[in-house]
Structure 1
């Protein structure tokens, strides 16, 4: 579990699938009202307080992004939204109960980060040789190269093979597409694998 402060009232938590499995939570459980998920959220908030001094008292807006190869990104924003203010009741709330407004988004985009461009070249040649894909987008972001791929037409076998190859050379990243598009630099908008193989030898 990695926690990062985005602003004074906003944090980002990255959960790997191992983090979820260790707690007996399936990916689909994240949008169910079950005790395990509440325990996980309490644990995340305790860690956020200990590491960053983030106080999670009061209403919280929680956004959960499911990423296919990487895990889950949870964005927690502290403060009242207008809908929460109008929905407030006079019931006494336990201090340990978090008022949460949860929104869930599922992203099927596969995203891997590479430290060296040589690794990007190597994995591109492997992907092309295995006839897995010649597509993909290439970004530069904070000194790393990021390759992103749209899902392979619900073909789970090919998707698993694609992820396995990418994982040999790079690291799964907790970035969301929105962050990458806003702060990253787009190098190749489409056909990145074919383009790289055309211009660079492995």
Structure 2
């Protein structure tokens, strides 16, 4: 009877002691290690297919070398490659905090943010809930993206519907439309 009561307590003690041990350094940077050695160990873990171990090594290196952006950029890239965009943004922002001019970290943060936003906007559009302030803000963001990228359109023409084909009659009608001074039932006919 007493043994069954002690079992949960022993399990908790075992769990807490396992968390408290440092282990064999499988997820931490050894004392005196350099950043290059830490990156090499993380690369070896990635090559062995142990991405969680590589991430833990990089995170440990980030704590041992707090001013160095390298582990944060590498962690951001790993999360981005795994399509875990939220964590990629968090790690990229840590790198940017250490070096605001880092192109890779800024790119990962921007593209990850766009992918998260694109997914959310696609879902809103699918549910037909994109209206009002959200729609206006999305349009403004699209304009900003076009300006930033130097592009006239964000969606390639192959993905959009082609404009309606003009028939010979509609082209002739436009060419022979009345001038602005003439009387017509359609005052905007010359603008078509």
Q: Per the shorter chain, which TM-score range?
A: under 0.3
More strand, by proportion = 1
TM-score normalised to the size of structure 2? 0.21
Higher relative contact order (CA 8 A, sep 6+): 1
More helix, by proportion = 2
TM-score normalised to the size of structure 1? 0.20
| Pair member with larger Rg | 2
